[in-house]
Every structure is written in C-alpha cells, then in structure tokens.
Amino acid sequence: MLVTLLDDVPTPAYAHPGDAGADLVTTVDVEIPPQGRVTVPTGVAIALPEGYAAFVHPRSGLAAKHGVTVVNAPGTIDAGYRGEIKVILLNTDVAEPVHLRRGDRVAQLVVQRVEHARFLVATTLPGSHRGQGGFGSSGGFAGS
C-alpha cells in the first residue's frame, strides 16, 4: 500500500509479526486536560486499494495506564481518502492531564477488507432466531 510521510515520521509499522494494528504517532506535543479531547496529526496519508478500509483503534496501554482512548473508535479511513490521518484522542481521567510528545505512538491502524452492500428495500424481512430482540434481550450482567 502506498504511504506518504508528511512530517518526517517513521513508516507505520507492526510492532510484532502477526499484529493487526500498525502504530500511528502524533507529530505534535500535546496536553490533554482531564476529560478533554484533542485531534492530533499523524504525518501519514495512505492510498488504500479499492475494497479496503482502515480503522483507527486506541492503544490498550495508553487506555489502561492513562485512560486515553479514541473518541470515534474505531475511526474510519475511507479507501478514497488521501488526506493526513488524524486521531481524535480523549483523556477519560477526571483528575490527571496527559502529556504526549511528538513521536509518541497514540493509536493503531487496522486495515481490513470491506464489503459494499446493495440496499434493497423490502416490506418485510426474513425471520431469524433473534428476531427484534436487542439491547440486552439475551440477558443482563451479573448485577442486574
């Protein structure tokens, strides 16, 4: 897949063979206040092949240690998008700000094949075992 590197950033890379996500870095230093959000540039633009999309996922380590997640997780990168990939970060911690430095890995990009549906309008839908049950219809959590 073709990639352009806009700001002297490393080529996105998988940390280990077999990893699903290639790490993305922030190109700017940033402080995220408690419960605040910031959009950070990654210095990366890509040309996905037709029939693929890429998804911007949070990193588990940042989430567990600092409460940092991706607001729109997973962010969707369309195959036709040629702009810089940006990451919308949220500091979920209510008390501590988070300081990120240029070059810190802030998210991971998962590239996947996607199907394109044709939406055919019908008056009724075929039956199924689940039917219209949703939102916990199969049972609650232990405390409910």
Contacting positions for ligand DUT (CB under 6 A): 56, 72, 75-78, 81, 85-88
Q: At which residue do the structure tokens 């991706």 appear?
A: 70
- At 66, phi and psi to the nearest 5? -125, 0
Looking only at Cα atoms, what is the longest distance across the chain? Answer: 55
Comparison of 42 and 98: residue with beta carbon closer to ligand DUT: 42
Return all residues near 96 (Cβ < 8 A) that are at least 6 apart: 34, 66, 67
137 is in an annotated binding site: no
59 is in an annotated binding site: yes
- Spatial contact of 72 and 57, defined as CB atoms under 8 Å apart: no
CA distances from 3 to 9, 16, 78, 124, 134 (A): 11, 20, 14, 45, 41
Comparison of 38 and 77: residue with beta carbon closer to ligand DUT: 77
- Tell me how far, at minimum, the Cβ of 130 lies from ligand DUT, in Å: 28
- Tell me how far, at minimum, the Cβ of 56 lies from ligand DUT, in Å: 4
Comparison of 7 and 96: residue with beta carbon closer to ligand DUT: 7
Distance CA 47, CA 22 (A): 15
- Tell me how far, at minimum, the Cβ of 13 lies from ligand DUT, in Å: 19
- Tell me how far, at minimum, the Cβ of 68 lies from ligand DUT, in Å: 14
Which residues are annotated binding-site positions? 59-61, 72, 76-78
Which residues are annotated binding-site positions for substrate? 59-61, 72, 76-78
